[in-house]
Structure 1
Amino acid sequence: MTDPTAVFHRVRQLVPSDQELVYVTDDTLVTEAITLMHGGGYDQLPVVAGDEILGVFSFREFALRLNSQPQLLKHGLKSLVVEDFVEEVPLVRETDRLDFAVRQLRSSGTVLVGDQNSLLAILTGEDLVAYLHRLAEPYILVQEIELGVRALIESCANETVMSGAIKNALSSKYSADLSRMPVRIEDLTYDEQINVVVNGRNYPLFQPAFGRHADAVGLQLRPVGDLRNAVFHFRRPLAVVEVELLVETRDWVLRRCRRFSARLKGGDENVA
């Protein structure tokens, strides 16, 4: 049985799957902590004392503290320990809601995941951006593809010509009730738009924008329809290879738009 709460975004989903939790104790020398951070590419490290989570040691806090308290360097850099540069940051649970973690990240830039005696992960704004990008990327790609295709279609025909092209491609589909047949391009489904473009009677009209071969256009654009439905109806997450297909198709549509726009600006209407 599926847990119905699993559909809600939680803090645990922000934690990178490959994150290796590295921390230092409060008595660690600053020079050792900096060496560890530099070697691992970290901007900050959690600081613990026994079972207690104290906060984080960061390049930012270290620089700010030295700037405001230069006397800390009285005995030299090698004498400093991270305890004197700990920054307290919010502690969130892995089951907390995403929006709660976002508010904490906006205020502090870093949060620790766990409880006061058990550290599980560290999260930064970069982790949030990466997570939201993974969520949003399929939607953005589908939007760019669909709107790009529509823009190319609209650049080839006015409303009157478009109405005729729609009839050529879709009359048989709506033969039982022609009054239901769309007359505007924005009222068509994605698949119907592709059918209008690659229709044998219509393609000479759209060839300048889409290229010489209708079959190639169909092969490039049709697979997006099923992926679009999976994305917008929340049927399933897309596999990496499917997202890559959307990226490839978006790039193809963008190239067609750029090429067509450049030829029109140059006064060349034979852009195929």
Structure 2
Amino acid sequence: MTVPIGTTAGAALDLMVERRFDQLPVLNTRGTVIGTFTNRSFARQVVHLRTQDDPRAALVDDLVEDLHFARPTDNLEDVFRWLESDNAVLVGDEDRVLAVVTMADVTSFLWDRTHPFVLLQDIELATRHLMRSACSANELAECLRAVLSIEGTTPASGGLEHLTLGELHAVLLHKASFGRYFGATFGRSRDLVQSTLEPVRDIRNKVVHFRGPISADEIGTLVRAATWLRRRMLIREEA
């Protein structure tokens, strides 16, 4: 979205409000960018207008600032520095603006990429916490031996931290151990625990091995599992 020279500040501001933008590149008659009209550039320049002048009638040509152009060959550290100082960069060049990237865009992008890792960490830490709080250290060691010795794996001396997520779930869902210990913190329904946590393992493998983007449904699965575990922790604390 751009505006040509001769556009009034009022028209540009109305468009920015409508589209929820903070800036608009301004083009001359040849389609070349002469600068960017922004909320900041408007605020900086409007104070210099005469008191009898209508600030909305001012032309964007006189109210622009220069944002940096980001090109594919630019160092990413430089781009982040420009974003930090100006809150936005233009992608492309003066003759062909491809996009405007803002700090909000970067924050959204990074959150989308890191959110699955944050949820997986929450799930794994909460699962370990609830398992530890269900029994003593010696009883937990017995639960580890009961499962891992059957699977041909020697229980790690470090305890739960050294287990894979699959091994952690196997210990938790071991029928005898769940009935004797873990049902006290995870609830009585072993089937519910299994249906809540088992899908997490496949999603985790997809995330950590970078096997493609995570779908909204998969994020929803992780959110539900993390929320359910937090609720179980609250119930445990109140008991």
TM-score (norm 1): 0.81
Are positions 1:245 and 2:221 aligned together? yes
Figure out how many residues of one structure are paired with residues of the other and give that number. 236
**Which residue pairs with 1:16 in the alignment?**
none
Conserved? CA contact 1:26–1:48, under 8 Å: yes
Deviations 1:169-191 (A, max 9, x none): 222101xxx6x332411111111
Matched residues in 2 for 1:201 and 1:97: separation? 57
**Which residue pairs with 1:65 in the alignment?**
45
Between 1:84-93 and 1:183-192, the stretch displaced more is 183-192
Q: CA deviation at 1:141?
A: 0.9
Conserved? CA contact 1:168–1:201, under 8 Å: no
Between 1:40-49 and 1:134-143, the stretch displaced more is 40-49
Matched residues in 2 for 1:74 and 1:88: separation? 28
Instruction: Give the SS at the match of 2:129.
Output: helix
Are positions 1:227 and 2:206 aligned together? no
Instruction: Give the SS at the match of 1:220.
Output: helix
**Which residue pairs with 1:196 in the alignment?**
171
**Unpaired segments of 5 or more residues in structure 2?**
none
Matched residues in 2 for 1:115 and 1:173: separation? 60
Q: CA deviation at 1:150?
A: 0.9
Between 1:106-115 and 1:232-241, the stretch displaced more is 232-241
Between 1:205-214 and 1:239-248, the stretch displaced more is 239-248
Are positions 1:261 and 2:237 aligned together? yes
**Where has structure 1 moved over 3 Å in runs of 4 or more?**
94-100
**Aligned residues with identical type, % of pairs:** 32
Give 1:205's match in structure 2, choosing from 169, 181, 185: 181
Q: CA deviation at 1:152?
A: 0.9
The one-letter code sitting in structure 1 at the alignment partner of 2:69 is L
**Which residue pairs with 1:120 in the alignment?**
98
Matched residues in 1 for 2:174 and 2:227: separation? 23
Q: CA deviation at 1:201?
A: 1.5
Conserved? CA contact 2:46–2:55, under 8 Å: no
TM-score (norm 2): 0.91
Instruction: Give the SS at the match of 2:7.
Output: coil
Conserved? CA contact 1:162–1:185, under 8 Å: no
Alpha-carbon distance change, 217 to 78 in structure 1, aligned in 2, over 3 angstroms: closer
Deviations 1:40-72 (A, max 9, x none): 2222111111232122111222122223x143x
Q: CA deviation at 1:102?
A: 2.1
Conserved? CA contact 1:169–1:199, under 8 Å: yes
Deviations 1:61-105 (A, max 9, x none): 2122223x143x543335310111101111012565654432221
**Unpaired segments of 5 or more residues in structure 1?**
1-21, 264-272
Matched residues in 2 for 1:143 and 1:95: separation? 35
**Which residue pairs with 1:29 in the alignment?**
8
Root-mean-square deviation over aligned CA pairs: 1.8
**Which residue pairs with 2:36 in the alignment?**
56
Give 1:218's match in structure 2, choosing from 173, 176, 194: 194
Matched residues in 1 for 2:94 and 2:36: separation? 13
